[in-house]
Amino acid sequence: MKTSVLRLTMVLSSLQATSALAEIPAPLREVNQTVSVQIGALGQDYFEHDDYGEVPTDYLDREDGTLGALALEGRWLKDAWLYQAQVRLAAGETDYDGYLQNLNTGEITPHQSTTDNLMQTARVSIGYLQPLGGALALIPGAEIGSRFWNRSLQGIGGYDEQYFDVHAGLSLTAQAALSERLVASLQAAGGSTVYGMINVDSVDLREELGRKPYYRLGAGLDYRLDARWHLKADLAYERFGYGESNVSEYNGKFYREPRSRTRQQSVLVGVGYRF
């Protein structure tokens, strides 16, 4: 008797899972069961605040430019639960307009140069795909990610510094099947860094940067070429920041990392494979 009850429970669970998936329009099931690779561009605007009136401008450093980007992503839909993972690499040069501090005298002078950037981000998320009827669905979810960013100021007085953070937040995605082949999506996400730090070897600065909010807005299109292959295009805007560090002493002088904010706009295109 117990064996029969167990088998019946397993069958009912299987039927419920099948029913949940059956309610999801086929184009949405297909787009959420893929691995993909994309390339594109990442526009970057970085700003270090001058909170103590140390310079004539309201910023200690401002940088902007365009980086090349490569992204890998995987999506797996199981029983209406959507699991996602993404890794993105961006590299390139930005224009530097700011100030440098002399390590011997402490004097601050204007400086224009370029900065080489290497940024690696990784993110995993889980969401629940809820059909709204017709070809629409909402996906509320939660995410956690990390970011490593190496900034290398070029020219006289140049130096390297590394940012690292772990961040977590919530997201809401809307998906719509515009046809049997074309799916559009919109996403809003936000949260906070739960850990942030900076490392600057030239002044022996290794400090935590507190917690700062972030948010991200995105839109995408996915076009199914055949039973397996998809074309993808995505746009995204993200804003994040870091807090001010504690003061660190080096060679009789005192240094700190000011609070900063970064704005990024990305355009990515590529292909996906449905498994």
Segment 173-186, tens digit of pLDDT: 999 999 999 999 99
**What does the alpha-carbon distance between residue 43 and residue 69 come to, in Å, rounded to a whole number?**
10
pLDDT, residue 106, reads 76
Is the confidence at residue 270, as pLDDT, over 70?
Answer: yes
The identity of residue 155, as a single letter, is G
What average pLDDT does the segment 21-46 reach? 94
Band of residue 18 on the pLDDT scale cut at 50, 70, 90: very low
Per residue in 201-217, pLDDT tens? 988 999 999 999 999 99
Alpha carbons 142 and 245: distance in angstroms, whole number: 28
Cα separation, 236 vs 48, whole angstroms = 23
Q: How far apart are CA 59 and CA 51, in angstroms?
A: 8
- Mean pLDDT of the chain, nearest integer: 92
Separation of alpha carbons 69 and 81, rounded Å: 29
Q: What residues pair up with 214 in beta bridges, in sequence order?
A: 191
CB 75 within 8 A of CB 82: yes
Alpha-carbon span 123 to 126, nearest angstrom: 10
Stretch (H or E) spanning 87: strand 81-101
Protein fold of 26-274? Lipocalin (2.40.128)
Domain map (residue ranges) of the chain? 26-274
CA angle (250 as vertex; 246, 253 as ends), nearest 5: 85
Which pLDDT tens digit goes with each residue over 48-84? 999 999 999 999 999 999 999 999 999 999 999 999 9
CB atoms within 10 A of CB 211: 14
The distance from CA 68 to its chain's CA centroid, rounded to whole angstroms, is 15
pTM beyond 0.85: yes
CA 35 centroid distance within chain: 18
How many helices (H) and strands (E) would you count in the chain? 2, 14
- Beta bridge partners of residue 175, listed in sequence order: 137, 185
Instruction: Note the pLDDT tens digit of each residue in 97-155.
Output: 999 988 778 789 999 999 999 999 999 999 999 999 889 999 999 999 999 999 999 99
Q: Specify the pLDDT at position 21.
A: 55
Label the pairing between strands 182-200 and 205-208: antiparallel
Distance CA 212, CA 74 (A): 28
Beta strands in the chain (DSSP E): 34-49, 59-78, 81-101, 108-128, 130-133, 136-153, 160-177, 182-200, 205-208, 213-224, 229-242, 248-250, 253-255, 260-274
Structure tokens at 96: 């530097």
Does residue 2 register a pLDDT over 60? no
What per-residue confidence (pLDDT) applies to 47? 98
| DSSP H or E run through 38 | strand 34-49
